[in-house]
Amino acid sequence: MQLPHIHRITKYDPLHRDHLGRYTGPEDTDSDHGPVEAAYLSAVAAFAEESRAGMLSVREPEHAGHPVPPGFHDGAQVALPAALELIRGMLRGSGGWCRLEAADTFFVHVGWDQYVYVGSHARCPEAIARTRALGLFPEPLAASPYAFDPAALPPGPQRPADDIFWDRLAWLLNFGGDLTLEESPVANACRRHRLTRAGLDTVRAALAPRAQLTVLRAGEPLLTAVLPDGDGVLRARWRPEPAPDDARWAVLITIHPDEVRTGVVTRIAPFGAFVDLGGLEGLIRIPEISWQHISHPGDVLETGQEVTVKVIDVDPGRELVSLSLKQLDAEGPRGRGADATVQRMAHALGTRHDGSTG
């Protein structure tokens, strides 16, 4: 989140910098756990109060090798005094790290070496004067280097841990296999849950808000997701590194019943033909191949053949897309539709429509 009025607050006098902008003065890069630290907190409080930001949201929290406060998760709402204690911990390097934001109003980001960045919708002249009076230096900037950058995330859509996600897990567990759910309520920290069909709802109910989830099979990532809020809206901004199942899901959410799609036949089985729809296979069952009776899908189709199909059903839990060739023959088993089907069959069999060999 960027706002129009952004300042970097430091204890480093700008006059004590070399031609490259590096600080050369006497201040060290650690918190003094005393009056200078208190000055930072007073300055941040002044900017927050002039911005009218009484409550702040924790965003993208990270574990920093020390115990983090209870309830420290993405989206947690904290009053200004509690936010200042989080900032104190970040200045000391003795707690988790996070962005603190009030939407469209105010933010505070704590960087390395006692650099603090505040942004506001207001100019905050009183807070600027207060910061200077505290012996700190407020420097105007165009942007905070710690602003959330969506471009830094892995490409692709963000998968929500919604009912479809849990239906998918239930379906996978029905077929056995060793599945583990890795829950990351904050970055750089996780806990693991052994998944069973009977215990799936219990695990789901105990997860931290907005946690990042990775499902492992035999220790390898299978699918990932992020927990939405209680109203079903996905507001967490982070995105796990996509796993193999996520790529298929990204295609699946673009497919809808009654659509017409073009794909390539990838496999032929006695019960039907599989068609690659751009990263996800759909299935044309043998009754949906032709209005004419055929004994085997290979009588009409061959691997590598491009086909135009109609989507007749989508089952997200099983990642199954049911397709039809014959439903594109609008006149059914009579007329031009039947003739077109026969022509396709004849072409696949290497014969002419009149029945003679090519």
CA neighbor of 107 nearest in space, from 163, 47, 65, 159: 47
Q: What is the mean pLDDT of residues 121-144?
A: 97
pLDDT band at 355 (very low <50, low <70, confident <90, very high): very low
Tokens of 304: 């590598």
268 forms bridges with which residues in the sheet? Answer: 273
The predicted pLDDT at position 96 comes to: 85
The Cα–Cα gap between 138 and 150 comes to 27
Domains and CATH numbers, the chain: 5-148 (no CATH), 163-244 (no CATH), 260-349 (2.40.50.140)
Q: Are 311 and 358 in contact (CB under 8 A)?
A: no
Whole-number average pLDDT of the chain: 90
pLDDT confidence bin for 5, thresholds 50/70/90? very high
Q: Residue 66: which pLDDT band, with cuts at 50, 70 and 90? A: low
pLDDT tens across 324-353, in order?
Answer: 999 997 545 554 444 444 445 444 444 333
Q: Which two tokens stand for residue 347?
A: 């072409």
Neighbours of 297 (CB within 10 A): 24
Q: What is the pLDDT of residues 193-223, one digit of tens each?
A: 999 999 999 999 999 999 999 999 989 999 9
For residue 281, what are its two tokens? 């296979």
For the entire predicted model, the pTM comes to 0.82
> What are the CA-CA distances from residue 313 to residues 253, 267, 310 (Å)?
13, 20, 9
Q: What is the pLDDT of residue 21?
A: 85
In tens, the pLDDT along 153-185 reads: 888 889 999 999 999 999 999 987 789 999 998
pLDDT of residue 330: 59
Q: What is the pLDDT of residue 175?
A: 83
